[in-house]
Amino acid sequence: MDFTLINSFIAVAEEGSFSTAAKHLFLSQQSLSKQIAKLEVELGTELLVRSRPLRLTQNGKLFLETAKEMTKLKQEFEETCGTRVRGEESIRVGIEHTIARAILPRVLPRYMEAHPEVYVRISEESPEELEKTVAHEGIDLVIGSISSPPASYKTVALCRKEQLLVVPKKLMRALAGDRYEALREEFSGGVDLRWFEKIPFIKQPRNSSGGRSLMNYMKYYDVRPNFACELTNVENAFQLALSGVGALIYARLFWDMIDPALQQDYLERVDIFPLPYLPDTDSVCAYYRFDGEESRGESLLSFIAAFLEDYENGELWREA
């Protein structure tokens, strides 16, 4: 049985709508409809009454309970297999790609040393994929930013996601002319984005964490920059900024986790200026499943929270 089809059916059944489920699954309605039709052929029965509103058939109602139990058993089996690798317990963690690169090398070794009985299964995903996983598969702990966690999850704000403006030196020099050094000094305490409106920017998708931050700043300063290109991966976008393609809004957290020697190398090619903190800019948050008992994700969360608290206080844990 294809669990992609099963998860798609659960999404449609719970949402009561092909269009809403397709949006959450990041599929077209046509693709989702084909998946459900394929599942119905495999089962030899209709699962949905395709009317408005969408309804489950009697067999659809029966299979929905079976489908949920199947996905639960699949997860338990995967966790059991994982547990045999390390210890007696396992936790499943979802974390944004770039946040994972920033904090896991510092946090995970300490956690694993303190909890040798726990096997950690980590999925590094985009915010969109994390939200889909949480909504339709379940996960013990999520680190990042998702817009609508289920009611069964508790949300904990971990740290503010302050932003920096990364400007290729060649663009900065062309814009500033003879005032280059004076403006660098002036902008070292904070920058007005309107001054950079005429240079090209690197764009990130609106539904990504970086894209939302970018749009918030564009709205705050009422600017409409010229976008040179669009990338989904913020680290690739940073590399393009280093190569001179365009300016980039980049989280301070990610910059601060770069080795100081490498930072110095990068500063030969780009200027980096702080941006004012906007209250509606994304924070780094944790979301953990809570059913009235202690969550399996809380023990790891305590290590991550301690690390980010130290970071905000100006201290960094050394990598193992």
Average pLDDT along the chain: 85
Nearest to 184 by CA among 201, 199, 167: 167
pLDDT of residue 201: 96
Domains detected in the chain:
1-71 (1.10.10.10), 85-159+283-320 (3.40.190.10), 163-274 (3.40.190.10)
**Local confidence band at 273 (pLDDT 50, 70, 90 cut-offs):** very high
Contact status, residue 233 vs residue 209, Cβ threshold 8 Å: no
pLDDT of residue 168: 97
Residue written as token pair 């010229």: 226
pLDDT of residue 47: 92
- pLDDT tens for 155-176 read 888 888 889 999 999 999 999 9
Residue 250 has pLDDT above 90, yes or no: yes
Question: How far apart, in whole angstroms, are the C-alpha atoms of residue 23 and residue 44?
Answer: 27
What is the DSSP annotation of the chain?
A: --HHHHHHHHHHHHHT-HHHHHHHHT--HHHHHHHHHHHHHHHTS--EE-SSS-EE-HHHHHHHHHHHHHHHHHHHHHHHHHHTTS-SEEEEEEEEHHHHHHHHHHHHHHHHHH-TTEEEEEEEE-HHHHHHHHHHT--SEEEE--S---TTEEEEEEEE--EEEEEEHHHHHHHHGGGHHHHHHHHTT---GGGGTTSEEEE--TTSHHHHHHHHHHHHHT---EEEEE-S-HHHHHHHHHTTS-BEEEEHHHHHTS-HHHHHHHTTTEEEEE----TTS-EEEEEEE-SSS--TTHHHHHHHHHHHHHHHTT--PPP-
pLDDT of residue 81: 62
Mean pLDDT of the 202-211 span: 82
Residue 205 has pLDDT above 90, yes or no: no
Residue 87 has pLDDT above 60, yes or no: no
Residue 320 has pLDDT above 50, yes or no: no
- According to DSSP, the residues that pair with 168 across neighbouring strands are 270
- pLDDT tens for 72-81 read 787 777 666 6
- pLDDT tens for 284-296 read 888 887 765 556 7
Residue 244 has pLDDT above 80, yes or no: yes
Q: Looking at per-residue confidence, does 85 or 179 come out higher?
A: 179
Mean pLDDT of the 252-278 span: 91
Q: Looking at per-residue confidence, does 250 or 209 come out higher?
A: 250
Highest mean pLDDT among 37-46, 165-174, 230-239: 165-174
Mean pLDDT of the 85-100 span: 76
- pLDDT tens for 51-70 read 888 899 999 999 999 988 88
Highest mean pLDDT among 79-93, 127-141, 212-226, 241-255: 241-255
Percent of the chain with pLDDT over 90: 32
pLDDT of residue 25: 67
Q: Looking at per-residue confidence, does 240 or 257 come out higher?
A: 240
**Local confidence band at 83 (pLDDT 50, 70, 90 cut-offs):** very low
**Lowest-pLDDT range of 115-124, 162-171, 181-190, 265-274:** 115-124
Q: Provide the 3-class DSSP secondary structure of residue 250.
A: strand
